[in-house]
Chain A
Amino acid sequence: MQSLNISTAAMRGIQQALDNTSNNLANLDTVGYKRRVASFSELLSDSMNQQPEVDQANRNTPPGLRIGSGARLGLTKLDMGQGSLKQTDVPTDVMIEGDGYFLVTKKIKDGTGAIIQEENRLTRNGAFQIEYNNDEGGYVLHTASGHILTDEKDGVPFVLPEPVQNIQISKEGVLTANGTDYGPIGVWKVDNPDQLQQVGNNLYDAELESGQKPDSKYKNAIDEGIASLRQGALESSNVNMMEEMSQLVNIQRAYQLNSRAIGISDQMMGIANSIRSR
């Protein structure tokens, strides 16, 4: 009985949509998190053609009977809407207003301590910390995952010679520390964030080779006029509790309806089974 498979396929998809919603809710307070929106897609149709000859006349549709085979989860699209501002007054917290990503990098070492490659990641999480870094030979701004913030020119890390106190970041991203100008922070425009690979830790794979310059792949979002920076603030996630909860209700009802459909199909099978059970 095909209807069992139809409803099962739909329930599987709905369960994945539920997973997506729970992940959004789990990241309600993650800085720079962008919610994903699950949407469904129909599966292929079966076409049955064994019908009486006289049926060809007086029809509204072309010959044959077409019945679909259910639904699946089609896409989980990123919602790139701006998250709300969270004032922290920490000088190394930076928020991107508009579209764009920070490029952060980490050196991957093998067992002997030699650097084998650079890991380039994009993030919207602007909560940086200052710490001394041996490889760079100075103080760097890094994320919670240890990736170092890079500049706008060649995507190289900012290295401050001493643990400076007075850090200023302008709207255009220019970083000054104790009056010394270190140049602008790189904020990169990604045309199609849906294609970015999410690698966890609030990071996306930048898909740059070791040593490849970011401007060979991305445009500068500040120059394009679609982004500006704000110091002392963080971007909270763009997950809306109300919206997710109503989505949850929607999903749960769809799940219930499909499980009822399975129940009815099951009863029908039971009825067919009991044709000869006296």
Chain B
Amino acid sequence: MIRGLYTSASGMLALQKRQESLANNLANVNTPGYKQDVGVMRAFPEQLISRIRDQEGPNIQGYPNLNEQAAVIGRLNSGVYMSEALPMFTQGDIAETRNPFDVALLDNLQPDQDGNERRLFYSVARIEDLTQPANADDIRYTRNGNWSVNADGYLVTPDGYYVLDSQNQAIRVNDVNDPVAGIHAGQGLKISRLGELQYEDPATGTLENLPNNQRLGLFVVTDPMQLVREGTNIFRWEGDGEVESLDVAEANDQAAWAAGEYGAPRIAGRYGTQQGWIERANVDPMQTMTGMMSALRAYEANQRVITTIDGTLDKAANEIGRVNG
């Protein structure tokens, strides 16, 4: 009976966590590139419970009689907890903003040979020395393509991470120190469908590549569930194996295709960046609201169980053995 009290309390705690997770999804319903979390509830490990000081189990035909041992009553689950919040990496819908620094990432990569899910991400990092590529440890992944240009002329996310190119270097759009000869792409920055960075040269009117920046640093993450959510729309890779840059992944894919492992390439032609658009959060407000309501009712039910057990305990404590009751 006392166990039931703790079981219900664990239920209430777990539902509180689920409510927090749902509230965070709802809070980010307008955050570009946000991926909703789905809570996973898990029962506490099962215990085998047995009768105290009773060696004689029931005598049931067909079952072995376990005399001389504590008689087993059965298994008991002692409650529930929220074990993990799975980020759902499904594609969010895209919305037009007409801003040159908004870039939506669209992907429909097919699973790899082992059937693992694959997703495409932008790479970003905090960098001390901007002349050098970012340290491998500092690289983070994001789907948020809502960028701006900072005071030094570099492409950054709203939280100050530098957007990286395919060589893990920060992307300089405007050369602030050299107003005459330096590069000044400004609002004229062009990002192609494949993530190539270009600008229109005013002298010749042709599209030129940004110096040193051929392409946005896109990464293929196999089994994206292994990414750790850091907040601010940023994920850190903590799984086994490596995250492949798009060029490497694409080359491997082409090789596997050429070797006849599958009928069509699984990466090439299945992704694209779209400038002037953003990928919206993939949160479904309806579903989240419904989830909250059911969490609320389950919470209430758990509370009723506690109240009921409390009532039973009340009887045991105050009414049993009362003289002249």
Whether A272 contacts B12 by the Cβ 8 Å rule is yes
B29 touches A62 (CB 8 A): no
Q: Report the separation of the CA atoms of residues A272 and B144 in the bound assembly, to the nearest whole angstrom.
A: 38
User: Contact: B82 with A192, CB < 8 Å?
Assistant: no
Size band of the interface chain B makes with A: 35 or more
CA distance A276 to B304 in the complex (A): 10
B-facing residues in A98-147 (Cβ within 8 Å)? 99
Binary contact readout B204-231 vs A (1 if CB under 8 angstroms, 0 otherwise): 0100000000000000000001101111
**List of B residues within 8 angstroms of A194 by Cβ:** 148-149
Main SS of the interface on chain A? Answer: mixed
Contact assessment for A191 and B148 in the assembled complex, using a CB-CB cutoff below 8 Å: no
- Smallest Cβ distance from A224 to chain B, in angstroms? 4
**Which residues in chain A, 2-59, are within 8 Å of chain B measured between CB atoms?**
2-3, 6-7, 9-10, 14, 17, 37, 39-45, 47, 51-52, 54-55, 59
Q: Are B232 and A43 in contact (CB under 8 A)?
A: yes
Question: Would you call A68 an interface residue if the criterion is a C-beta within 8 Å of the partner chain's C-beta atoms?
Answer: yes
Q: Check if A261 sits within 8 Å of B32, measured CB to CB.
A: no
Q: With A67-B37, A75-B146 given, is the CB distance from A80 to B187 under 8 Å?
A: yes
| Interface pair B303/A271, CB less than 8 Å apart | yes
Chain A residues numbered 205-249 whose CB sits less than 8 Å from any CB in chain B: 216-219, 224-226
The binding surface of chain B is classed by DSSP as mixed
Bound-state Cα–Cα, A225 to B16, Å: 60
Residue numbers in A under 8 Å from B130 (CB-CB): none
Number of A-B residue pairs at CB separation under 8 A: 215
A275 touches B20 (CB 8 A): no
Contact B27 A7 (CB under 8 A): yes
Q: Is the CB of B17 within 8 A of A9?
A: no
Q: Is B83 in contact with A51, judged by CB distance below 8 angstroms?
A: yes
| CB within 8 Å for A52 and B45 given contacts A67-B24, A224-B202, A276-B310 | yes
Report the Cα distance A71→B311, complex, angstroms.
42
Pick out which of these stretches binds chain B: A89-97, A159-167, A175-183, A262-270. A262-270
Residues in A with CB closer than 8 Å to B32 are 39-40
Alpha-carbon distance A274/B21, docked complex (angstroms): 24
Q: How far is the CA of A215 from the CA of B274 in the complex (A)?
A: 34
Q: Are B26 and A77 in contact (CB under 8 A)?
A: no
Contact, CB under 8 Å: A65 / B84 = yes
Residues in chain A within 8 A of chain B (CB atoms): 1-3, 6-7, 9-10, 14, 17, 37, 39-45, 47, 51-52, 54-55, 59-62, 64-71, 74-75, 77, 79-81, 99, 189-195, 216-219, 224-226, 250-251, 253-254, 257-258, 260-261, 264-265, 267-268, 271-272, 274-276, 278
Beyond A3-B20, A3-B23, A69-B231, 14 additional pairs, beta carbon < 8 A? A39-B30, A41-B144, A59-B83, A61-B85, A70-B23, A71-B30, A75-B158, A79-B97, A79-B98, A191-B173, A192-B149, A193-B187, A226-B188, A257-B29
